Structure 1
Amino acid sequence: MEALGVLDTPPDERVDRVARLAQEMFDVPMVSVTLLDNDRQFRMSEIGLGSREAPRRDAFCDLAIREPDTMVVEDATAVPSLAANPFVAGDPHLRFYAGHPLKAPGGEPVGTLCILDTRPRSLDARQRELLRELALWVQSELTHTREREGAASIQRAVLSAPAPKATGWSFASAARPAGALLGDMHDWHTRGETVRFTLADVMGKGAGPAMIAAGLRGSLRTAPDRSVLEAVEEADELLSEVIGETHTFVTAVHAQLSMATGDLTIVDAGHSLSFVLRSDDTWEPVRSTGLPLGTGFLEPRAPVDLRLNPGDVFLVCSDGLLDVLDEDDPFGHVLRTLRDREPTGAALEAVRLARDRDAPDDVTVMIIRTDA
């Protein structure tokens, strides 16, 4: 139970929704998603019971978790072992109870989804199956909650590198997840006069992509003396082994900037969303060929070399940004934003647009400007 991390938590709308659905489908006055601790029952969600805690002793749920399938008591007053139960003889005066066990990922029973009534009832085979399906839904939500929290913890631990600060250069980045977790990954790493940076977009949303993104960051940071091309190729090989069978892939840009010369080397893995805005307001898309990471094809890639001159701005973004730009003139929208704002302000403006327009996908931007 402690491993699930759901005891004594605030109400969870995902679980509450299942409870409301159960009440409507079975037309009962009381529903509970009950988790059992050593000496108490904690109601993660409840309707009609009036409290979120009760003693475990004498609880019907304590009996239900010992059953392999749905436990149904049609009329508790007619069952000698239950007629004197305090939940039957006293408040809430239960007559009918049906509960299906909830199990932890390891298979241990930890609670029940139960429906209750103050009058006798029965459940046919179809209704029992329906209650089982709802219980499995709750069980899935409990597991996913733990996975999301674990992925969020990993993400907080490894995705916190701030943008560099250096004389003659301005660096900025910002990101906004479409859900609770960010499937995009961006990273900065400075060594002397060299800055390496990465933006990767993992297909999908939620805990899985967030953890893949965190693993990719670790892979690209390993052995910093490798060239950016070698780093990408080795990460591709690793991801192909780990996620190839899940049909997930990662588009990415991994690059190295020399702050001494302005020389920029870019390796693009199926991302194709990197641009240079020159000081004369001309756009230069960074054209690079290469398949996304994790596809298993392991085709060779060629780096692209260019130079950033004073006044030039380099921008790389995830495709989620395209959802919030001006549909009629997206590049004009970006140009105006970059010219009207400092890089930090421009990055924050992208996040504001994503929030205000309820972007359906993660939005991440990284900006570099040559100031001298």
Structure 2
Amino acid sequence: MGLGAQETRIDDDFERLRVAAVERLDLLDTPAEERFDRITRIARELFDVPVAEINLIDDERQFTKSPHLPGKATSIARIDSFCEITVRQPDIVVVPDATKDARFSDRSPVSDERHVRFYAGRPLSLGDDLRVGTLCLVDTVPREFGPEQRRLLDEMGQWVERELQDTADLDRAAEVQQGLLPQDQPGWPDFEVAGICLPAKTVGGDYYAWHGDGSSIELTLADVMGKGAAGAILAAAVRAAFQSRTGDDVVGAVEAVNTQLADDLGVVGSFATLFHAVIDTASGRVDYADAGHGLSAIVRSGAPAERLEATGLPIGIVAAGEWTRGSATLEPGDRLVSFTDGVLDLFDGTLASLDEVAAIVRDASSPHAAVARFAELAASARSRASDDVTVVVVSRRP
């Protein structure tokens, strides 16, 4: 293989990695965000230019993440983009007059109504030299760009990169959070369990867990006050506290978790509602402790849903909280559903929606079909959703 062919292959491999990095950000075709719009507003004022943009470059086009202007497309063909040249190299690209630069003079932004003359672009990467886009400045008149201005543009580019890195870190956190949810159902031939956890943001404060042997199923669903990363951190603490108490009496487990976490939750001004249950797989008996949650029910064929009431306060409210044990029975063909209040928001937002939740659980062919239906409703409401949506359904087979 000749040197030229080898270099081409290396360039192609690098471009595939670069485009994959852009796609991992999951920002293409997303709405405007104030954290990015703030940067472009400041850049326009600081450099006294009519246009400052944050652009992402994939394999075929340039997507403008900020700003989104009324009546203006957010994407243009990559071949027309100035920024696609900038992402090919590590340094700031400055074009004092595009009509006099052979790299740009034939591109449509120079000749069409945009009338671009001046351009300065700072490539954006995520610390791995994979340049995903640019922070760029544009003017309709030629102008110079001195060393101090280059320094300022570089610093503002670092600001954008921090925001992009936060996005990448949250995406990784979301993968970890979803990966910690249970995936299997060992040793329960007469029972089927399914669940979903759909954060309103990238990560959230809800979680569920189940485990056990052939004789019992231990189930926990929790809703921590707080959204996003803060909620996710607290949810992880609650999860870890319960994981270390497998097999405990349900009331004893909740009391112990509250004792362990009450001070920490109090310091950050948070609390958690939760449902913690143990199901005897031989008899169908459900023993549970409900810490201020109150969003669990037994769903039977041809009968109204039997709501399982709260048996104590949320954890984190008081250090010496008290809970009582509740009991119910899952007969063959019955289902248990537990969910967070984000599910109510898929309907009218009140407890009156319990009948609609129960109808979905009752009419579904299986717990997996039921949670799939809730996922469909959450997807259709995503643009207006403000809370995490989490549901677990347990069915005792007929």
Same fold per superposition (TM over 0.5)? yes
When structure 1 is superposed on structure 2, of 219-228 and 196-205 the one drifting more is 219-228
Unaligned regions of 5+ residues in structure 2, if any?
A: 1-17, 57-62, 67-75, 106-115, 128-132, 146-151
Q: Following TM superposition, by how much is the alpha carbon of 1:304 offset from its aligned partner in structure 2, in angstroms?
A: 1.3
Match of 2:4 in 1: none
Alpha-carbon distance between aligned partners in 1 of 2:311 and 2:343, rounded to the nearest angstrom = 21
Q: Deviations over 1:100-154 (max 9, x none)?
A: 9x9999xxxxx995646563489xxxxxxx9999779736523521431342232
Give the fraction of aligned pairs with identical amino acids, expressed as a percent.
29
- CA drift at 1:365: 1.6
Of 314, 321, 342, which aligns to 2:343? 321
1:332 to 352, 355, 370: 355
In structure 1, the residue matched to 2:142 is 119
Partner of 2:377: 353
Equivalent position to 1:53, from 69, 75, 87: 87
Matched, 1:258 2:280: yes
Moved more, 332-341 or 345-354: 332-341
Equivalences for 1:200-239 in 2 at 5 Å? 200-239=222-261
Query: Deviation per CA, 1:79-98, whole angstroms, max 9, x where unpaired?
Result: xxxxxxxxx99867999899
Counterpart residue identity of residue 300, structure 1: E
What residue number does 1:364 align with? 390
Q: Once structures 1 and 2 are overlaid, which stretch shifts more, 332-341 or 343-352?
A: 332-341
Q: Which amino acid aligns with 1:330?
A: S
- What amino acid sits opposite 1:370 in the alignment? R
2:301–2:362 Cα contact (<8 Å) kept: no
Show the 5 A alignment for 1:78-93.
none
Change (3 A) 1:132 1:236: farther
3-state SS, counterpart of residue 364 of structure 1 = strand
CA distance in 1, matches of 2:19, 2:393: 40
Unpaired stretches in structure 1, ≥5 consecutive residues: 35-42, 62-72, 78-87, 106-110, 123-129
Number of the residue aligned with 1:37:
none
Cα pair distance change 1:114/1:297, threshold 3 Å = farther
Question: Counterpart in 1 of 2:323?
Answer: 301
Task: Confirm or deny: 8 A CA contact 1:263 1:307 kept in the other structure.
Answer: yes
Q: How many residues align?
A: 331
Cα pair 2:55 2:134 within 8 Å, conserved: yes
RMSD: 4.8
**Residues 224-233 or 138-147, more deviating:** 138-147
In structure 2, give the amino acid aligned to 1:219: A
Q: 1:7 to 1:335 in 2, by over 3 A?
A: closer
Q: Distance in 2 between matches of 1:239 and 1:60?
A: 50
Tell me which amino acid in the other structure corresponds to 1:161.
Answer: Q
* Equivalent in the alignment of 1:343: 366
CA shift for structure 1 position 220: 1.0
* Deviation for aligned residue 1:279: 4.8
- Contact 1:267/1:303 (<8 A) preserved: yes
Q: C-alpha displacement at 1:310, in angstroms? A: 3.2
Displacement of 1:32 in angstroms is 5.8
